[in-house]
Structure 1
Amino acid sequence: MDNSVSVIMPTFNRAHFILYTLQSFMNQSFKNWEIILIDDGSTDNTKHIIENIKDYRIKYFIRSKEYTKGPCGCRNMGIDNALHDYILFFDDDDIAHPKLLEYSMNAFDQYEEIDFCNYGRSVFYNDSELQFKLDNSYKITTIAEEDYYKIIANILPFNTCAVVWKRTAIGSERFNETLIYSDEWEYFQRLLSNGLSGIKLEMDLIFARKHSNSSTARFLNKDSVYYKSTVRARKLAIVNLGEKLLLNKDLFKYFLNQSIILKDKSILMLTMEYYRMKSFQTFFYSIGYDIYPMLKAYYKIKSKIVRNYNNSRII
């Protein structure tokens, strides 16, 4: 394998952020990289900014019509155009630690059998908040094949920009271009369900910019399109994990909880189908789901009454 990294970066109208992101790679201590920058049809001056950067490693593409508009199509085009044996998916508004690539590639040299290198992530709102730890004192933990459910259930953080992959681990797998949110999560669970293992560097090497126009902000603001995409991603994962006989008790609980959070009973029903649950169990879980909102309201009122009663006794 060549000891170089292809950084795949979709972009759309981020002229006000992208220069800072690209500069964070030009400042890397590890120099063997390329950036495959896929423009999804920007109408601002993104192209002008890129053309003024004199670095042959930054390669600018306009998304081809062969790929669907959106981050997934851009990432797939990036994979298909990447030259190197290590892949990093990166967002056009985040910042890389100056030693992100150096530490990651050192890890691959030290642990030759791993499929990916994961690392920590911090968030920031203003560039003045960024502080980089530059020493080598970080802990390394293993992520075994059986830990996949912790990543899927978000017990073990696994953000898009916080993983460098071996290209052999990705193989022919591509992002689902029908998804606009939870697409990375759905893609990564597919990769991990293929029996991959890796390590985590216990150090923040990616700094995610928080702003009101981010996809996460739209989801939290209950954008219906983003919610529907999340529901679809959960169902795709259930089918994938179910067909591979990987739906264990922990994942059943996770998808049950997701059906409640997303208020979509079909997630629960599909989970029970692929979990191969017996008919009487399916019946009771279905009834439980239906009455859960009433029980939740009841216990909330009861808790309030008890709390008020206890407060009155204290007075």
Structure 2
Amino acid sequence: MQSLVSIITPMFNSEAFISETISSVLNQSYKNWELILIDDNSKDATLSIVQEFIKIHPNIKLLKNESNLGAAISRNKGIDSAKGDYIAFLDADDLWKPEKLEIQIACMQTENCDVCFSSYQLINEKGEALNKKVKAIPQLAYSKLLKSNYIGNLTGIYNAKVLGKIKTPDLRKRQDWLLWLSAIKKSGKRAQGMKESLAYYRVRDNSMSSNKLNLIKYNYWVYKKGLGFSTLKSVYCMLVFLKEHFFVKSKQTISINKI
């Protein structure tokens, strides 16, 4: 029997994308999953859209925040509710390819790895291909991940049966990076990266990556607040991060002819 996979999806005013996101989960070739949607006090039609899916699909579950609590707390509520042997993440505007779970779970079981991620492709807000692919590193060590976040959160899966439930610190941004650092550190093994592109990341006009000052600020807080490093060590790590991000990690994004 297939192991249960818990999929965690926080939502906030996601009416434009949530139907397509949920459909990409429903279309998975791997069938033993539960989708946990956490609504962060949306003010649009997100909830009514989700309710229509829940009427038909009992493995889709909804949690509601009474006030806007942010992505970190919402994800953690989903993790608390998760019953799966594996925990995966999918934001409310991103998409999975149909074979995503099947390929990654098979890899984790065959290779006996605790953390797995994959390459993914970029689309714009309209869902149109940007003809770019972010390549996954085949083997990702903690020391390498500490330099820059090489795991696209929409592709990451960890083995909760082995590692336990790993949660995200309550930071406004980049909390997913800290989660994957914790998972690899606890595992004591390298994360397995898959060359196959198994997901689509939607590049939003207001994304943090489009604002270089925010990129520096929020990544600094990963080291300072998230990991508890001293100011001096945090500054040093940020210098390493900037070098890694612009001269090494940037080369992981390549142009492709088509999706």
TM-score by length of 2: 0.79
Contact between 1:169 and 1:196, CA under 8 Å: does it hold in 2?
no
Aligned-partner SS, 2:37: strand
Contact between 2:147 and 2:240, CA under 8 Å: does it hold in 1?
no
Partner of 1:266: none
> 1:233 offset after TM fit, Å?
1.4
Partner of 1:231: 220
Partner of 2:250: none
Contact between 1:72 and 1:176, CA under 8 Å: does it hold in 2?
yes
Aligned-partner SS, 2:219: helix
The equivalent position to 2:142 in structure 1, one of 138, 141, 148, is 148
Partner of 1:63: 65
Contact between 2:115 and 2:183, CA under 8 Å: does it hold in 1?
no
Tell whether 2:173 aligns with 1:191. Answer: no
Aligned-partner SS, 1:75: helix
Counterpart of 1:88 in structure 2: which amino acid?
A
Aligned-partner SS, 2:144: helix
Contact between 2:223 and 2:237, CA under 8 Å: does it hold in 1?
no
1:73-222 alignment runs, 5 A limit: 73-111=73-111, 113-125=112-124, 126-129=126-129, 141-143=138-140, 147-154=141-148, 157-168=150-161, 170-177=163-170, 179-194=171-186, 195-217=188-210, 220=211, 222=213
Counterpart of 1:59 in structure 2: which amino acid?
K
User: What's the C-alpha RMSD, in Å, of the aligned pairs?
Assistant: 3.1
Task: Mark the runs of 5 or more structure 1 residues left unpaired by the alignment.
Answer: 132-138, 262-315
The size of the alignment, in residue pairs, is 234
> 1:80 offset after TM fit, Å?
0.3
Residue identity (%): 27
Counterpart of 1:182 in structure 2: which amino acid?
R
Q: Give the direction of change, closer, same or farther, for the CA distance of 1:258–1:150 in structure 2 (3 Å limit).
A: closer
Counterpart of 2:239 in structure 1: which amino acid?
L
Q: Segments of 4+ in structure 1 off by > 6 A?
A: none
Counterpart of 1:81 in structure 2: which amino acid?
S
Q: Give the direction of change, closer, same or farther, for the CA distance of 1:109–1:130 in structure 2 (3 Å limit).
A: farther
Which structure's residues are more often strand, by fraction?
2
| Deviation by residue 1:256-281 (Cα, 9 ceiling, x = unmatched) | 345899xxxxxxxxxxxxxxxxxxxx
Aligned-partner SS, 2:228: helix
Aligned-partner SS, 1:52: helix
Counterpart of 1:235 in structure 2: which amino acid?
K
Aligned-partner SS, 1:127: coil
Counterpart of 2:77 in structure 1: which amino acid?
M
Aligned-partner SS, 2:116: strand
TM-score by length of 1: 0.66
Q: Give the direction of change, closer, same or farther, for the CA distance of 1:142–1:215 in structure 2 (3 Å limit).
A: closer
The equivalent position to 1:255 in structure 2, one of 208, 231, 238, is 238
| Deviation by residue 1:127-178 (Cα, 9 ceiling, x = unmatched) | 34399xxxxxxx99444xxx21212213x7212112111014552542111x
Contact between 2:119 and 2:194, CA under 8 Å: does it hold in 1?
yes
Whole-Å Cα distance in 1 between the matches of residues 86 and 224 of structure 2? 29
Q: Give the direction of change, closer, same or farther, for the CA distance of 1:186–1:202 in structure 2 (3 Å limit).
A: same
Partner of 1:16: 16
